[in-house]
């Protein structure tokens, strides 16, 4: 008789990699972004405040390793004395954290060596909903774009935080009660796209925002709020958008090119694969769903009209965020994406194998992982409304 293989448990998949830094927020964190080439972190809050922080990974790693060794030595002594039956190796179960913990992001000093505040400001009158760095090679990370519930898009200098352009978009709404949700900047042109709660896309000239230069307008890309926008490499005018239960391929000059079949499940986030990003392609798209799964789509197969396959993660949670590892050091990492769920878990999914291959616990208190990013040195960043973590390598 052939022995059945035992199912992999959550514990067996838990990574041995711990956070390098943990930042806690007293006010809800709505958005965060990592600078593409420097250890700089932007965080936007429900209060409309925007923080710019710099961290030093070398110092943080040295501090963390020293404290980890001290804790391990103490635990071994306790175990040897018989006061504890086992020494836990689980990162999520450890009672003594050895990584740097900031209890309140607003109290970070401006002169600390391991992590400091570069600048902070009240950027929006309402909440700060989304923040992104400029992705263009000739302006890479030079500017920060934010949008808020005050219906304003602002462009600021990353180094100083000074606003260098802004536009109030209300007059360009179809309905004055509409609100901004997401931003996306062209990788090559001065196009800043903004999605709205009513499912529309407004496109402005980022080189001269203050002139209120609306360049293009796509009405009803979706029936409901725009959840995500991705640029396509085929043209600076072509983008993918998610909203409600559909995925749309839009041309910002002409409108919807194709829209997917109704997926009967909310589509929350999407990403390309590491391999395609490295090769400058945008054919394969992975989409996260409200009902605990991710789906794989290919433009070359069916013009993104429907998913090709699905990977089930956990039907009891929503998969709120997804991002490629951006690590092509080996085949497993290159074929993987990170997903964050509504229960505070992180899953590394190998989409070629169709399964979860690694887990990390962002929060044991159910802090929904609605934000994922990769820093300049390929470290994973996860965040919910309460806590942000930069993970070790």
Would you give the distance in Å from CA 1 to the centre of its chain?
47
| 321: containing domain | 272-375
Report yes or no: 393 and 376 within 8 Å, Cβ to Cβ.
no
In a domain, 332, yes or no: yes
Q: Does any domain span residue 369?
A: yes
**Would you say 145 and 72 are in contact if contact means Cβ atoms under 8 Å apart?**
no
Return per-residue pLDDT of the chain as tens, 393 residues. 333 343 444 557 999 999 999 999 999 999 999 999 999 999 999 999 999 999 999 999 999 999 999 888 887 776 677 666 655 678 888 888 999 999 999 999 999 999 999 999 999 999 999 999 999 999 999 999 999 999 999 999 999 999 999 999 999 999 999 999 999 999 999 999 999 999 999 999 999 998 878 999 999 999 999 999 999 999 999 999 999 999 999 999 999 999 999 999 999 999 999 999 999 999 999 999 999 999 999 999 999 999 999 999 999 999 999 999 999 989 999 999 999 999 999 999 999 999 999 999 999 998 999 999 999 999 999 999 999 999 999
Query: Phi and psi of 370, rounded to 5°?
Result: -95, -5
Domain containing 353 — which CATH number? Answer: 2.40.128
Q: Which of 255, 191, 198, 250 is nearest to 223 (CA)?
A: 198
Residue 383 to residue 374: CA distance in whole angstroms: 12
Let me know if residue 388 belongs to a domain.
no
267 near 247, Cβ under 8 Å? yes
**Tally of domains within the chain:** 1
The closest of 153, 145, 132 to 35, measured between CA atoms, is: 132
CB of 298 closer than 8 Å to CB of 284:
yes
Please state, in angstroms and as integers, the Cα–Cα distance from residue 390 to each residue in 95, 150, 284, 321, following that order: 19, 30, 27, 16
Give residue 93's pLDDT. 84
CA-based nearest residue to 128, from 44, 22, 27, 13: 44
**What pLDDT, on the 0 to 100 scale, is given for residue 71?**
87
Place of tokens 């000739």: 138
286 lies in some domain = yes
Other CB atoms within 10 A of residue 22 CB: 18
Residue 11's pLDDT is 54
Q: Cα–Cα distance between 332 and 334 in angstroms, integer?
A: 6
Domain membership flag for residue 90: no
Cβ pair 78, 84 in contact under 8 A: yes
Q: How far apart are CA 37 and CA 350, in angstroms?
A: 26
Query: Would 370 be classed as within a structural domain?
Result: yes
Q: What is the pLDDT of residue 1?
A: 36
- Give the CA angle between residues 332, 368, 264 to the nearest 5°: 80
Residue 306 lies in a domain: yes
The pLDDT value recorded for residue 207 is 95
């Amino acid at each position: 008789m052939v022995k059945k293989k035992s199912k992999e448990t959550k514990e067996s998949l838990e990574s041995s990699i711990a956070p390098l830094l943990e930042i806690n927020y007293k006010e809800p964190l709505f958005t965060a972004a990592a600078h593409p080439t420097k250890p700089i972190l932007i965080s936007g809050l429900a209060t409309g405040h925007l923080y710019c922080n710099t961290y030093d990974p070398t110092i943080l790693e040295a501090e963390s390793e020293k404290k980890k060794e001290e804790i391990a030595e103490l635990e071994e002594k306790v175990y040897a004395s018989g006061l504890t039956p086992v020494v836990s190796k689980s990162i999520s179960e450890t009672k003594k954290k050895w990584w740097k913990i900031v209890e309140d992001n607003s109290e970070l000093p401006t002169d600390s060596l391991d992590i400091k505040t570069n600048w902070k400001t009240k950027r929006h009158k309402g909440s700060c909903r989304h923040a992104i760095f400029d992705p263009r090679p000739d302006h890479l990370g030079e500017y920060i774009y934010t949008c808020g519930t005050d219906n304003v898009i602002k462009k600021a200098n990353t180094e100083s935080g000074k606003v260098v352009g802004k536009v109030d978009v209300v007059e360009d709404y179809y309905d004055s009660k509409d609100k901004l949700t997401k931003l996306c900047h062209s990788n090559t042109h001065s196009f800043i796209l903004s999605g709205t709660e009513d499912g529309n896309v407004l496109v402005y000239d980022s080189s001269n925002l203050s002139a209120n230069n609306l360049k293009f307008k796509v009405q009803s890309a979706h029936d409901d709020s725009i959840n995500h926008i991705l640029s396509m490499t085929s043209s600076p005018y072509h983008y993918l958008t998610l909203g409600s239960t559909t995925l749309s391929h839009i041309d910002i000059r002409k409108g919807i090119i194709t829209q997917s079949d109704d997926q009967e499940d909310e589509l929350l986030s999407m990403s390309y694969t590491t391999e395609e990003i490295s090769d400058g392609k945008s054919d394969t798209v992975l989409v996260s769903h409200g009902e605990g799964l991710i789906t794989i789509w290919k433009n070359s197969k069916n013009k993104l009209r429907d998913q090709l396959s699905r990977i089930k993660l956990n039907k009891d949670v929503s998969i709120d965020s997804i991002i490629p590892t951006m690590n092509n050091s080996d085949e497993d990492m290159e074929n993987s994406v990170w997903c964050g769920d509504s229960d505070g878990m992180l899953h590394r999914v190998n989409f070629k194998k169709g399964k979860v291959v690694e887990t990390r616990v962002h929060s044991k208190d159910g802090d929904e992982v609605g934000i994922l990013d990769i820093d300049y040195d390929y470290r994973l960043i996860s965040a919910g409304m309460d806590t942000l973590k930069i993970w070790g390598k």
